[in-house]
Chain A
Amino acid sequence: MNLTGCLFDIKRFTVHDGPGARTTLFLKGCSLRCIWCHNPEGIRPEPEPAYYAHKCIHCGECVLVCPYGAHEMEDGIHRYHRETCAACGRCESVCLGKALQWYGREMSVEEAVQAVLEDRAFYEQSGGGCTVSGGEPLLQADFCAAVFAELKKRAIHCAVDTSGAVPWEAFQTVLPHTDLVLFDLKHVEDDVHRQQVGAPNKWILENLRRLSRCGVPIEIRVPVIPHFNADEHSIRAIGEFLRELDHVTTVRLLPYHGAHSKFESLGLPDLLSNVASPDATRMECLAGCLSHVGIPVK
């Protein structure tokens, strides 16, 4: 099997990505451009370096290895010129301050499966398993399906964390091996969605409707973003939409938290840099808007 996937992280002992203690594989590349993205390093499909300026110790090691002159020392101060970087990957490993981080690594199915299996003892104790997330994991649906198929042979619980913005075929590829779908639902109104997510939501909603007829349990996750959907109206509308669906086991409201330093490290603009996280009372109030839907809210 020489199928590979492009991952930007593997997180172990994740406890909020499905049941039990899990290993989450973060796949690189996403079809949406949510302005509140909390994993911006997962947006672009191709591998890329990130530069965390506050960690730099200005040692100049990176300057020595970069064939494109993207690193420069000026009066003992290091500067990184992203425009000239060709993402060749040479500088990360020599960085003494761990200021340079590489996001995106090709991994074979076997490697990914091995990485997941390492923590088997923890899944057994907790009823956990593996979650693929991202980015949008279903952009690499074949890879996910292949990893899951191997894990299912060993009876490991498999979950997909998706934005739903993928062709239905991608779902069809992974569903036979999937025990749970974590489905991100941001807004049910198309115009608002287009504006903030950078894509229409029709096909997302359509995918969710089809998914709800497949019998796989679905957990709906709503990122609660101020000025976007952190109001009663938006959340109630989501609730109304969910009423029609089967197999939705839980709705989870996730308060927005900024990822400012990540945006900065990738040279991306953080449009929400001044937005505060919704507080606990707000979250409770919004949860109340879903109480009539008949689905447990977390």
Chain B
Amino acid sequence: MIATLQDTLQTDKEYLRNKFRDPVFDESTGLENETIKSDIQTMAEEMKGLPKPIIKARIFEYITRQVRIDVNPRDWFVGFACWNRKDWFFTPILHQWRDEVFHACSLTTPLRRDLCASGAVAMWPDFDHSVPDWDAVLELGFSGLRERARRYRRGKQTDGTLTETAAAYYEGIEITYTAILEMIERFHAYAMKTADGNPRVLAVADCLKQLRHGVPRNTFEVLEMIYLYFMFGEHIDHMQVRSLSNLDQILQPYYKRDIESGAFTEERIREYIDYFLMQYASINNYWGHPLYLGGTGEDDRSRINDLSYIILEEFDKLNITSPKIQLKIAENTPERFLNVALDMVRRNNSSLVFLGETGIKRAMMSVGFSQEQAREAVISGCYEYNVKAREVGTGPVYLNLLKPLELVFNNGVDPMTGLPVGCRTGDVEILTRFDVFYRAYLQQLSFLLDASFRCVDDFEQYLRDINPANVFSATIENSLKQAKDAFADGSVYNTTAILHTGLATATDALTAVKRWVFEKKELTLMEMKCALEENWQGYEKLRRNILNSKEKYGNNIAEVDHLAEAIARFCANRINLRPNARGGFYKAGMHSARTFITLGEKTGATPDGRKRGEEMSKNVSPSMGMDRNGITALIHSANRIDSAMYPTDYALDVMLHPTTVRGEEGLAALRTVLRTYLAGNGASIHFNIFDADTLRDAQKHPERYESLQVRVCGWNVRFNDLCRKEQEEYIKRAEAVRESTQPEEP
């Protein structure tokens, strides 16, 4: 029956795009969202005093019973009315719980507020980095996960170790998973009621029936299962699912069986994948929904398989920004696969990120993980590598590496807010040599790190009280074993990442101080301080000279790059393996998310020529437009820093001019950049390929560039969706690329 359905993507695309933007639900299927939201507020009030996992589970249950649903003939995946990620039902309740925790952390809460207000750090309790044990999810199914949790609970009961907290933990899972199964049943019943002989709806009903009681048996059921888990975990239970799995590996055995048995044709499987990908394109999480492909198997052979190609090809065809796809690359990765991926990158800047397995291995082993764990690493979020099914890595802090510099100039006080977030390093007059100045910088840096540790250690003790991970915990065996919340501290490795923003800009700024103040003596430190206070007004000549100087990180100038390395190492040494409050340890990370913009807004002018409020560098990338010696110099610079010092992640953005990458030679050129970076010290890399003229034209005629994508940090956005200021930054950078790397046109 299914085989007679035709390719319907074209006709359904419009529906799919709107599914998560402006959907219409059958009112008879449930209550209005607003009603549910107010009901659950009352419920939370009434249940006050009960253990948090139970309150959350009861509310979860209420939502799943009452929310409107859909099983649509235009879709292979079911519809939830609680789809809006900007308006999660749990948000007000979790915020209240979070504020209670902040209240309890009375010693560090004011400190945290000041640190954030001054822009020294961006800091919050992070719940955005859960990756379920996908193998367990698919092997056990929802009912099997519940059964396994029950077994562990019984075990504790029998040996008399079931404390009250443990009982609440298991009860939270019991209620939650029972609710999930009921909701699947509800979907099924609705599908049967409305199918009216529609073969697709009947097929979906069939799938739901299977997932209600058992485990997925074929490619379609696996995809539906991943999607359902995602919706329950992220959109109802309010904990971001930061990887949709290594989809090619997960699907391969099912796919093989389906093709061999004739259950599905390849076309049909491609169609399922299209519809699956379209769900995420439609949800359109600003940060993208990650999934990863490739890697190396136990036999040291590449894991690139048929599905790796199929998924990439379908993703390419759809030309969407989310999901974002991460590719695990090694020596053994077939050239053909690289070519397919790199060709996508150069044609439409697809949101593909390349991660080198050697880099991952070195990084993970540097904090004591095994080679095997590194090989099986899960890629989550933007670029983070974690031990599969055993590690939860939170990311509660982004450190602004420029702020310590401002604090040195102002003896520990943030100039914009007047907050004394730094330490006393003395008035600038006493900083008479560069080494003294540099030490003051490190002192301030160290001070901010210590303050961050204090705050995080305080609030991270209470993660389970802010957002107990009922859906997620049931997938993590160690959590079940110990009856501890998997996200808070129930994983084998409960790590905390401190992420960095502005490494290159801080390096450039320190270098400028060194060169112009202490060596060339063009001005005194006091005068530099004035220039910064005046936001360079009246100092335009100096500012231009500093900006024009090539002494910036990213130009393969050893002295400058070594300084970047020194700062990176200083931070890494203080962070890595430091015990955290969750029985695990801290790890340093070299990625900046959006803080290169947001923290930049809170940072005054800096000696590298940057003006007040302007963005700073992100990841391990150079300051915007400052890499004037071309791509090879940039790679050399990035490779001077040991990526293994950053066991969370280490990402480099490169921009290339379209003429560099055209034709066969161009493809080879991209491969060369990738391979050289990964063979050096590199870990993750992604590409932006465009010229300034195109971007300018896109500003003028946005309608012609609907599909033009740019990489923000670990995710892509449409150029049209950027605000004017951000667009200008990309144009500035693209102009620099033209000057340095565009080959001569004969």
Contact = CB atoms under 8 A, between A and B. Distances in A.
A221 B669 CA distance: 21
Nearest to B745: A257
B668 A126 contact: yes
B40 to A, nearest CB: 57
Contact of A38 (B548, B680, B746): B746
Nearest to A128: B672
Nearest to A123: B672
Interface stretch (A43-51, A114-122, A237-245): A114-122
Contacts of A11: 630, 743-744
In the complex, which range does the number of interface residues on chain B fall in?
A: 20 to 34
A84 interface: no
A121 B548 contact: no
B260 interface: no
Given A11-B743, A13-B632, A61 B675 contact: no
Contact of A122 (B660, B665, B676): B676
Nearest to A224: B746
A223 B632 contact: no
Interface in A147-199: none
Interface in A126-153: 126, 128
B672 A125 contact: yes
A94 to B, nearest CB: 9
Interface residues of A, number: 29
B672 A61 contact: no
B743 A16 contact: yes
Q: Is the interface of B mostly helix, strand, loop or mixed?
A: helix
Contacts of B744: 11, 38-39
Interface string A222-241: 01000000000000000000
Nearest to B669: A15
A12 interface: yes
A97 B544 CA distance: 8
A121 B680 CA distance: 9
B741 A13 contact: yes
B632 A20 contact: no
A59 B745 contact: no
Interface string A271-286: 0000000000000000
B629 interface: yes
Contact of A118 (B541, B548, B636): B636
B633 interface: yes
A221 B745 CA distance: 13
Nearest to B629: A12
Contacts of B743: 11, 14-17
A82 interface: no
Contact of A96 (B541, B631, B672, B676): B541
A122 B746 contact: no
B279 interface: no
Contact of A126 (B544, B548, B660, B669): B669
B161 to A, nearest CB: 57
A259 B744 CA distance: 10
A292 interface: no
A210 interface: no
Given A61-B541, A96-B544, A257-B746, 16 more contacts: A12-B629, A12-B632, A13-B632, A15-B743, A17-B743, A21-B669, A38-B746, A96-B541, A97-B544, A118-B556, A119-B632, A119-B636, A121-B679, A122-B635, A125-B675, A223-B746
Interface of B: 540-541, 544-545, 548, 556, 629-633, 635-636, 660, 665-666, 668-669, 671-673, 675-676, 679-680, 741, 743-746
The 3 closest A-B pairs by CB, nearest first: A257-B745, A126-B672, A254-B746
18 contacts: A11-B743, A12-B630, A12-B741, A13-B673, A13-B741, A15-B665, A16-B665, A21-B669, A39-B744, A61-B541, A96-B540, A96-B541, A118-B632, A118-B636, A121-B636, A126-B669, A126-B672, A259-B745
Interface of A: 11-17, 20-21, 38-39, 59, 61, 96-98, 118-119, 121-122, 125-126, 128, 221, 223, 254, 256-257, 259
